């Protein structure tokens, strides 16, 4: 979900990381497993580095 929202698609623009995290945190414990959102937050810097390294142009 994080990658889908923060990536540009032919049918939509990419969301900002802040907007994506706001949505995912608001859905923590409902739509998303709370512990996974915590892990996403704890590892966000590394996730963004990987996303940047492997982005498609």
Tell me how far apart the alpha carbons of residues 57 and 47 are, in angstroms, rounded to a whole number: 18
Q: What does the block give as tokens for 55?
A: 């982005």
Task: Name the one residue in this structure whose structure tokens are 């963004």.
Answer: 48
* Residue 48 lies in domain: 2-6+13-53
Q: What are phi and psi of 50, to 5 degrees?
A: -65, -45
Q: Tens-of-pLDDT digits for all 57 residues of the chain?
A: 999 999 999 999 999 999 999 999 999 999 999 999 999 999 999 999 999 999 886
Prediction pTM value: 0.87
Q: What are phi and psi of 12, to 5 degrees?
A: -160, 155
Tell me how far apart the alpha carbons of residues 8 and 6 are, in angstroms, rounded to a whole number: 7
Number of domains in the chain: 1
- Confidence at residue 29, expressed as pLDDT on a 0 to 100 scale: 96
């Amino acid at each position: 979900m994080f990658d889908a929202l923060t990536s540009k698609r032919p049918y939509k623009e990419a969301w900002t990381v802040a907007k994506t995290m706001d949505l995912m945190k608001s859905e923590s414990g409902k739509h998303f497993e709370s512990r996974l959102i915590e892990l996403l937050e704890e590892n966000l810097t590394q996730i963004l580095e990987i996303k940047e390294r492997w982005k498609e142009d």
